[in-house]
Chain A
Amino acid sequence: MADSALPLAGLRVLDISSFIAAPAAAVVLGDWGADVIKVEGPEGDPNRRIMHDSSNYPKSPVNYPWQMDSRNKRSIVLDLKQADARAALDKLIAKSDILICNFPPPVRDKLKLAYDDVKAVNPKLIYASLTGYGESGPDRDRPGFDATAYFARSGLLDAQRYEGGPPGVPGPAQGDRATAMALVSAILMALMHRTKTGEGSWVGTSLLGNGLWSCGVIAQAALVGAFLPHRPPPDRPRSALGNIYHTADDRWLQLTIVRADKLWAPLCRAMALDALIDDPRFASEPERRARASELAGLLSDRFATQPYEYWREALAAHSVTFGVISRPQDVPDDAQAVACGAVVETAIPEMPRTLADPIRLSFASQRIAHAAPELGEHGEEVLREAGLSVEEVATLKASGALK
């Protein structure tokens, strides 16, 4: 597979960010060869504790979210409120290519970590900032999380509901991880710009912007005054061919026939409902739409007679597009999850498998995940690499600037 070094080898990244979206972008850079140094405050990134702190995380003796979001990073603890710690950070900035932060703008100003501040130290640096709601405007200083900024504020959760029901449910960090890929793309564009011009730059993205980008179809519709009605429940769908059905073994199967003109007959054959093919009630797409509930009733009665596995084979045999609603426990043992590169092995004994980032390259493979760092594990090593003397490091430790 790999015939050359990883594409980001030789780049040094300072990950001065917390929680998930921004650190996950740093993970992706690390996956592809960058040397990622996580700069944490004395208490460490609160993501180290989120599995315990959040009631919406699966609990485990293994700190899997921290492992996933910190793999292959080194950790240094600097108390940036102290002047000599801040000065030591400048030494690191001077020798880095990329800085990722997610402080709200007032905190950046207070810590003298705004782009203008660091540009003076290293004009070639790429400064990537993640915000909840953007770099300016009335809500720029509001702390943003993916549930609030990506999902709620964007209109996603309001749209993701069944008629009359409560708002939809976002998965933990679901929007954060999607946002990480936009931040990576922004950073790579800045690297391309630096290759051409020799100059660093600011780049960034917001959780709100990513939420709206992901629901771009309905956001674009809203911009022309069209709105999506809330989804009717499965027994009275808008289209029976784009609906979910319960199988005999209590699983859900998702029919998503986009080209109904082509697939109506194959679907009927796959379901042994051949009589429906020429049934005048369902002869054309407009008629199938007009009688969607009636058709959904017929299909749902038939789906309920056989288990998921039966339908998987029957539908695949007729090239009918469908999907299963997997349960999380189905994914780890899904051969296709391994084949598509999503599930990979690690070098972490307590957590032997993890999720790769979704980028695939023919010319390089992602680095295998090694254990996430202990808090401040690499402080001395990182500062020595940046040119600080043993005495200087000792002084920083003695003052409490470095833990």
Chain B
Amino acid sequence: MTTGPMTTEEPLPLAGLLVLDISSFIAAPAAAAALADFGADVIKIEPPVDGDPHRNSFRNASYPQSDHNFPWQLDGRLKRSLALDLKTDGARTILERLLKRADVMIVNFPPPARERLKLRWEDIEPLNPRLIYCSLTGYGETGPDRDRPGFDITAYFGRSGILDAARYEGGPPGVSLPAQGDRATAMTLVAAILMGLRRRDQTGKGGWVGTSLYANGVWANGTSAAGALIGAKLPPRQGPETPRNALTNLYRTKDDRWLQLLMVRDDRLWEKFCATVQRADLLADPRFASRPERRQHSLALAAELVPMFASRPYEEWERLFAGTGIPFGVIGRLADVIDDAQAEHAGIFADTTNPEIPRTVNTPIRLGFAQPRTAGPPPTVGQHNDEVLREAGFSDSEIDALKKSGALG
């Protein structure tokens, strides 16, 4: 894997940190996985027997169908699993012992469940005032919808206005992909936790940090949302045959791929574009002489460009445009992306030591001084019960008693 300039190997930046991942599904566990990638010791605390319901997400109808538990590999990597029934007193004893040693705790219970389980920051702070307590919610920690369970499709995409904006005029709302907003949100959680750790380095104090799926969706949709705040409305996106700007548009190529032209700086690039596609006639055409005219006559320009792009396969366009500085791209297909040499250079995929799922997706964070850890197979439910408890100082007989009582699964 190539990461970038000046890669040196030094201790991972989060080595030595103990993280308790008491969360489920994707955004919060994905943040914990990112911390583990960069050296943190992450203990996943999950219910006995079934564990995190995300272990079964791969059977979800909206997921690609596979016998391999690929999402669990992604979000469970580099974690140890401790199966606790948090409703029992014994589990509370274990949890409190762990919390006293932990640096970071991540939860995504809605506020009422946190209250019931005595897992609010104010419950935990007396045990370990240096702890960074991180919570993820669907819709925020207060307000009318704070207790509503939130998923990325509802809170990040639906509520934020992204899906409404992501449609062609007259069409149904846009399509979001499984966990797409969850994973983007995970990066915010990581940033929030790191700010908490930085402040702890400076003051010795822990504290609450967090984010919501809703706020992340609004942030991602920030340009349109900032427009909406002052009453500016995004007109619906025209279909590719009738663009508002023919130079930032999608074109179908001869081999049925979609080429995306993104010539934002057509003030500078128009001449070069005409020369590159060998259309001196367009350069000479008074309808397209300047930027305002090209906008005004965008339908006429698209009518020229649609058949032009349809006359050659994508590869030829790729060769023509390469090195011209004219921004363009192909609408990639994942089938191609996984073997894309550039993705390899960008450090996007990584090998695992799990023979069943030999490659995985890295976080987008790249550091010159450290590489993310290599992932093995994710843990089975409760795989590390004994080991984690012994590290926390429990004796073998105590561990047996906790197992008998059902606290430890």
Using an 8 Å CB-CB cutoff, how does the interface string of B335-351 with A read, 1 for contact, 0 for none? 11110111111111100
Say which one of B56-64, B82-90, B379-387, B390-398 lies at the interface with A: B56-64
Q: How large is the interface on A (under 10, 10 to 19, 20 to 34, 35 or more residues)?
A: 35 or more
- A231→B172 CA distance, assembly (Å): 12
A339 at the interface (CB under 8 A from B): yes
User: Is the CB–CB distance between A223 and B164 below 8 Å?
Assistant: no
- A148→B225 CA distance, assembly (Å): 22
Chain A residues with Cβ below 8 Å from B303 are none
- Taking each of B162, B227, B347, which has the highest tally of chain A beta carbons within 10 Å of its own beta carbon? B227
Using an 8 Å CB-CB cutoff, how does the interface string of A116-146 with B read, 1 for contact, 0 for none? 1001000000000101011111111011110
A323 and B240 in contact (CB under 8 A), knowing A156-B177, A226-B70, A343-B229? no
User: Is the CB–CB distance between A213 and B232 below 8 Å?
Assistant: no
Chain B residues with Cβ below 8 Å from A325 are 158, 163-164, 173
- A2→B180 CA distance, assembly (Å): 33
B367 at the interface (CB under 8 A from A): yes
B383 to chain A, nearest CB (A): 21
User: Is the CB–CB distance between A351 and B194 below 8 Å?
Assistant: no
Chain B residues with Cβ below 8 Å from A32 are 195
User: Is the CB–CB distance between A226 and B64 below 8 Å?
Assistant: yes
Using an 8 Å CB-CB cutoff, how does the interface string of B311-342 with A read, 1 for contact, 0 for none? 00000000000100101111111111110111
User: Is the CB–CB distance between B328 and A202 below 8 Å?
Assistant: no
B38 at the interface (CB under 8 A from A): yes
User: Is the CB–CB distance between B165 and A147 below 8 Å?
Assistant: no
A219 and B337 in contact (CB under 8 A), knowing A58-B234, A172-B223, A359-B191? yes
Chain B residues with Cβ below 8 Å from A355 are 218-219, 222, 225-226, 229
A282 at the interface (CB under 8 A from B): no
Chain B residues with Cβ below 8 Å from A210 are 184, 187, 364
User: Is the CB–CB distance between A134 and B342 below 8 Å?
Assistant: yes
B63, B235, B368: which contacts A217 (Cβ < 8 A)? B63
Chain A residues with Cβ below 8 Å from B199 are 4, 7, 361, 363-364
A192 and B197 in contact (CB under 8 A), knowing A153-B332, A185-B187, A358-B215? yes
User: Is the CB–CB distance between B66 and A358 below 8 Å?
Assistant: no
User: Is the CB–CB distance between B155 and A323 below 8 Å?
Assistant: yes
B153 at the interface (CB under 8 A from A): yes
A224 and B2 in contact (CB under 8 A), knowing A155-B333, A182-B187, A361-B208? no
- Taking each of A182, A202, A323, A331, which has the highest tally of chain B beta carbons within 10 Å of its own beta carbon? A323
A193 and B64 in contact (CB under 8 A), knowing A58-B228, A358-B211? no
Say which one of B3-11, B91-99, B270-278, B282-290 lies at the interface with A: B3-11
Using an 8 Å CB-CB cutoff, how does the interface string of B156-174 with A read, 1 for contact, 0 for none? 0111111111111001111
A316 and B148 in contact (CB under 8 A), knowing A172-B223, A189-B14, A220-B361? yes
A254 to chain B, nearest CB (A): 5
Chain B residues with Cβ below 8 Å from A204 are 4, 366
A352 to chain B, nearest CB (A): 8
Residue of A nearest to B218 (CB): A342
Using an 8 Å CB-CB cutoff, how does the interface string of A177-206 with B read, 1 for contact, 0 for none? 111011011101111110111010111111
- A115→B8 CA distance, assembly (Å): 14
B377 at the interface (CB under 8 A from A): no
Which 8 residue pairs of A and B lie closest in terms of their CB atoms, listed nearest first?
A339-B143, A323-B154, A340-B140, A137-B345, A134-B346, A148-B329, A202-B368, A58-B227
Ordered by A's residue number, 24 sampled pairs between the chains whose C-beta atoms are within 8 Å are: A56-B237, A138-B345, A155-B336, A181-B191, A190-B367, A193-B13, A196-B13, A214-B177, A217-B71, A220-B357, A223-B338, A223-B349, A228-B62, A228-B64, A233-B172, A323-B155, A326-B159, A328-B233, A328-B234, A336-B139, A340-B137, A358-B185, A360-B210, A363-B205
Beyond A57-B234, A189-B194, 14 additional contacts (C-beta under 8 Å) are: A20-B223, A54-B248, A57-B227, A162-B175, A171-B224, A188-B191, A191-B198, A201-B368, A226-B65, A254-B154, A324-B158, A327-B161, A351-B230, A361-B199
